[in-house]
Amino acid sequence: MSPDSTGVLHLVVGDEELLVARAVATAVAGARVEDQELDVAEYAATELTTGDLLAAVSPSLFGERRVVVVRDVHDARKELATALLEYASAPEPDVVLVLTHAGGVRGKALADGLRDAGATVANAAKITRARERVDFVRDEVRRLGGRCGEEAAEALIAAVGNDLRELASACSQLVADTDGRIDAATVSRYYRGRAEVSGFTVADAAIVGDLPGALEALRWALHVGVDPVPIADALADSVRTVARVASAGRASSHQLAATLGLPPWKIERAQRQGRGWSAEGLADAMQVAAECNAAVKGGSEDRGYALERAVFAVAAARGSGAS
């Protein structure tokens, strides 16, 4: 059963970045059922004082609901941990408090105390077993409105790798580009090649200016038969996402998630990848990606050359924005 997303005290336990981001987003979405304009404030436990906490969770003079997210409470100092447990024993009804904890023995007493206080607990532990990864892929495709058998899920993991963010993006791409019924043949058409080499491998390297890494990944992918179309799609998606997030201004990942319609983990990644880019450079890169997509999907005589030229151009566009 899924955790109740409408409570006022939430504890997310685990260190799988994607699952943590989704659990926090679920809690925020549950709070926003009654108020779409709900304010969300985020803090790091290492930088939060007891006074800051009490100010953040104190009742509003106007009775407005709000969400307070405190990350990495396993690193909380003793005074803050004590204050969190005291608050959890009698939480404010108009404040939704969401706490993330990496799990393990560090800060275990705090996590146990929050459970005992009635916190809604979401599991975000790293997925380490092959069976769990297969289940994740099948559930992800189902969540997106498609269907995926075990064989197809295993093929996708072999092609894309074990990173859940990459797998989630691949599932989204496959469902978007097909009728949603994904089998092993579908995966093979999109992701033929060496395990953990995909369009996202190329795009991630290009977008952060790692030209040698991007070219190596691209040339190997093409050498072993990876379809150029998903590589072009991944490059376009990465550039477009970084540009959208950069133009949205400074705000928390959850505030931007509501504005842009993107998952918080994807926004956080785009914020990291966007460092070193200028607005002009991103505009140039978007034009490059669009031209590459048109060439690859429009039957260019040398689709590999079109992709390689795009990788060079994206890296150059980023370089032009460096200070």
Both tokens of 154, joined, read 């295993």
Q: Kindly state the DSSP code that residue 13 receives in the 8-state scheme.
A: E
Residue 147: predicted pLDDT: 95
Residue 2: predicted pLDDT: 47
Q: At residue 323, what is the residue type?
A: S
8 A C-beta contact, residue 285 and residue 53: no
Using CA atoms of 211, 213, 214, 216 in order, give the dihedral in degrees to the nearest 10.
Answer: 120
Both tokens of 149, joined, read 């058998």
Report the distance separating Cα 133 and Cα 163, nearest Å: 10
What residues are paired with 71 via a beta bridge?
44
Torsion angles phi and psi, residue 268, rounded to 5: -60, -40
Residue 194: predicted pLDDT: 46
Q: Is 231 left (phi over 0), alpha (psi -120 to 50) or beta?
A: alpha
Secondary structure string (H, E, C) spanning 299-315: CCCCHHHHHHHHHHHHH
Residue 83: predicted pLDDT: 96
Residue 21: predicted pLDDT: 92
Residue 275: predicted pLDDT: 86
Residue 6: predicted pLDDT: 58
Q: At residue 287, what is the residue type?
A: Q
- Residues of the chain short of pLDDT 70, as ranges, are 1-6, 63, 192-198, 224, 320-323
**106 closest CA partner among 154, 73, 59, 58:** 73
Residue 162: predicted pLDDT: 84
Q: What is the pTM of this model?
A: 0.59
8 A C-beta contact, residue 9 and residue 120: yes
Both tokens of 92, joined, read 């404010």
Residue 322: predicted pLDDT: 47
